[in-house]
Amino acid sequence: MLNVTGRVQGVFYRATANEIAIELGLKGYVMNMNDGSVFIEAEGTIEQLTKFIEWCKRGPSRAIVTDVNIQEGMVKEFTDFKIRH
């Protein structure tokens, strides 16, 4: 689980995270939170997740990421990656 803070809403963070996750073959979801952060649950190999986390720390060009809080969670065996609303 990732909680991304900073200027991460209204800058195509979710849409781009969704594209990157699908390109990497990850499963899970990304969603905006009421506090202005972005929450992500992602499942994949260590290599896939490492690349995704590296991207999450930068985000798309208009984002200003101040922190990425990473927590391990239970495997939920997602079947795809999508944007949740």
Active-site residue set: 14, 32
For residues 31 and 85, the answer to whether their CB atoms sit within 8 Å is yes
Buried b (16+ CB within 10 A) or exposed e, 43-60: bbeeebbebbeebbeebb
